[in-house]
Amino acid sequence: MDQDWLSLKMSDHILVISWAFFATVFILIALGTLRNLIYIKRKQSTARNFTWLMIMMVLYSVLAMPVAHESVRFGSAFWKTASLVILFIVINFIIINALRVAWVNYLNKKQKLGCFWGGFLLLPIQIYFTVRFQGVNPIYPFSPVLERFIEIGNIFLSVYLVVAFLALLAHLPTAKLFDRKLQQISSLHFLSRAVSSEFDVDKLVRTIVQLTTKVTEADFAWLELQHENDQQLRLVSSCRLDQTERDNKDVCFSDPLVQKIIRDRSTFSSNQAVKNSHSSHLRNWKHDLGSLIAVPLATGERVVGILYAGKTYEFGFEQEDGEMLRAFGDQAVIALENARLVKESLIKERLEQELKVAHDAQMKLLPIDMPTLPGIAIDAVCITANEVGGDYYDFFKLSPTKLGVIIGDVSGKGASAAFYMAEVKGIMESLARPDLSPKDMMCAANETLYQNFSRNIFISVVYAVLDSEANTFTFCRAGHCPVLFMSSEDEFCKRFEPRGLGLGLDSGKIFKSVLDEVTIPLKKGHTMMLYTDGVTESRNPDGEEFGENRLSEILQSVHRKSALEIKKQVIHAVFTFLDGERAYDDMTFVVIKDME
């Protein structure tokens, strides 16, 4: 310290400057690292304390200047005192900051050991250098401020490292336990992530079993789940069980252990599994069984599976292993349920898609374009309740002036009705001929359908022939809803319900004798409506039926409008009546209007 900077040789200059450079870099890096360590688990005051320490360290360093220069106006004694006071404050802040060693907690056992040995070797060197250069640092002649800063920085580093080392020492004995807790928590965390991301049941059960061995540090683990078909438990995945063990593990509800777990719906834990009456029989299956934990996987009241973890030696599990596995099992069952639901909804979605295709296909069976007949306007609609249904209407152009109109309803619902409907359409199309009266046509259709359809299937139909030349509407009602008729002069709607039997109910004799054919003369303004029972039987939220009377009333009120407008009004009226209630059956109707 007595040496003067100017009196030094050139080679010494270089030495001192490089020494100063490396020492400064070292201390800045060290302070940066300490700052990061101190800021782990930071509180509001952490940053403030550290900043104050830095400020005080700089202040203390700066004070080296007046102390070194005797020429300053105030005596050197004043600056020395001031330096001491600041040093005292700096030391206080060093201690405060040095106690921030929370990061030690979060090292795993391996890291803790690494740090311990690292500190064991490096700490003495650090302390040695700090003490060795105390007050005799060669930088002093170059810059007393820098010298002081490096000095106080080293002290801080040393103190901090000593405290951290001691904290590490204190944490070493619990390192293993801490590690295990971390492991368990991360496994649980991993599983809860899997809950929301893994929908493949096979992968999921593998993950569950593997994590089970981690959570409990078990030697082997396996999972038994209820099979969809027979509800029996089966081994679905295992970890560290050999092939023979996997093959030989037959599970059934009569197994005393399974029975106990399902009955109690609580964790089974035994540190001497072969001596426990409930699990002793497992010895025949797995010879090296020592300790065993089994937890039920339950959704609501139902046990859907059992998760097992085992060790090859006795007294391998602690009380909390059971609790941990239980918590783990609760997560696992959520994951499994989730995966199952996703699978179900995928299947459902696919079915819905297929039904939509079927619906589109069926809609194509219905005529899109309305037929034209001189002076007569026709409109029709079919609203299906399900994706596919048994309602149907069609038109046959019999001659330039003759049009066949058919509306029908196949018994039953859904897909089966839809198939029959398609077949009925084909049969009717092939039978429709201009020279065939509605009655003859129905008799022929009945014969074919009776022979080809199963007995419990029948079809109700109204078949009508419109003749624009003779101005007649001739029809038969084969078990179907009546035909509504409205003339422009009348105030009320007429309901035509001639006798008739559904198609496919009788071999032919009764059918023919029962069926009546009716002819109505057509005049301008006459309106006819053919409909299926889906219209009249649709129910509102109170369970009330739309009924024939309401339908007649609507026709009475709108019959002067065009066929298209009548159709719209009827649909509107029915849906207003339904009031948001879902239609239970297909709704179909045909409106025929004489315009001339």
Q: Nearest distance from residue 430's CB to other proteins, in Å?
A: 24
Q: Nearest distance from residue 439's CB to other proteins, in Å?
A: 14
Q: For residue 314, what are its two tokens? A: 């006795």
Name which position in 66, 500, 583, 592 contacts other proteins (CB under 8 A): 500
Q: Nearest distance from residue 208's CB to other proteins, in Å?
A: 37
C-beta of residue 38 within 8 angstroms of C-beta of residue 46: yes
Which range touches other proteins (CB under 8 A), out of 88-96, 197-205, 287-295, 494-502?
A: 494-502
Name which position in 8, 414, 448, 494 contacts other proteins (CB under 8 A): 414
CA distance 388 to 416: 9
Q: Is 596 helix (H, G, I), strand (E, B) or coil?
A: coil
Say which residues have a Cβ less than 8 Å from residue 155's Cβ, sequence separation at least 6.
94, 130
Q: Nearest distance from residue 518's CB to other proteins, in Å?
A: 15
CA distance 452 to 442: 15
Say which residues have a Cβ less than 8 Å from residue 368's Cβ, sequence separation at least 6.
none
Which range touches other proteins (CB under 8 A), out of 152-160, 283-291, 301-309, 503-511?
A: 503-511
**Cα torsion angle, 450, 454, 460, 461, sign:** negative
Q: For residue 71, what are its two tokens? A: 């020429």
Residue 202 or 497 with smaller CB distance to other proteins = 497
Residue 209 or 410 with smaller CB distance to other proteins = 410
Residue 477 or 559 with smaller CB distance to other proteins = 477
- Count of C-beta atoms within a 10 Å radius of residue 306: 25
CA distance 84 to 459: 110
Please give the order of strands across the beta sheet that includes 459-467.
Answer: 391-399, 402-410, 459-467, 472-478, 517-521
Name which position in 206, 234, 249, 413 contacts other proteins (CB under 8 A): 413
Q: Nearest distance from residue 591's CB to other proteins, in Å?
A: 21
Position 505 contacts other proteins (CB under 8 A): yes
Please give the order of strands across the beta sheet that includes 220-226.
Answer: 233-239, 220-226, 302-311, 291-299, 268-270
Name which position in 155, 195, 476, 501 contacts other proteins (CB under 8 A): 501
Q: Nearest distance from residue 328's CB to other proteins, in Å?
A: 39
Which range touches other proteins (CB under 8 A), out of 19-27, 45-53, 399-407, 504-512?
A: 504-512
Count interface residues toward other proteins (CB under 8 A): 28
Q: Which amino acid is at 496?
A: F
Residue 536's alpha-carbon distances to 271, 337, 527, 574, 576, in angstroms, are 72, 43, 18, 9, 14
Residue 21's alpha-carbon distances to 146, 149, 155, 180, in angstroms, are 10, 13, 18, 45
Q: Within 437-466, which residues bind other proteins (CB under 8 A)?
A: 454-458, 460
Q: Within 525-584, which residues bind other proteins (CB under 8 A)?
A: 533
Residue 224 or 533 with smaller CB distance to other proteins = 533
Q: Nearest distance from residue 497's CB to other proteins, in Å?
A: 8
Which range touches other proteins (CB under 8 A), out of 139-147, 243-251, 274-282, 479-487?
A: 479-487
SS in 3 state form for 309-363?
A: EEECCCCCCCHHHHHHHHHHHHHHHHHHHHHHHHHHHHHHHHHHHHHHHHHHHHH
Q: Is 503 helix (H, G, I), strand (E, B) or coil?
A: strand
Which range touches other proteins (CB under 8 A), out of 71-79, 92-100, 272-280, 406-414?
A: 406-414
Name which position in 155, 502, 529, 583 contacts other proteins (CB under 8 A): 502
Which range touches other proteins (CB under 8 A), out of 95-103, 361-369, 474-482, 555-563?
A: 474-482
Q: Nearest distance from residue 442's CB to other proteins, in Å?
A: 12
SS in 3 state form for 16-68?
A: HHHHHHHHHHHHHHHHHHHHHHHHCCCCHHHHHHHHHHHHHHHHHHHCHHHHH
Position 355 contacts other proteins (CB under 8 A): no
Q: Nearest distance from residue 190's CB to other proteins, in Å?
A: 42
CA distance 452 to 444: 13
Position 220 contacts other proteins (CB under 8 A): no
Which range touches other proteins (CB under 8 A), out of 54-62, 103-111, 173-181, 480-488?
A: 480-488
> Contact positions toward other proteins, by CB under 8 A?
409-414, 454-458, 460, 478-482, 497, 499-502, 505-506, 510, 514, 533, 585
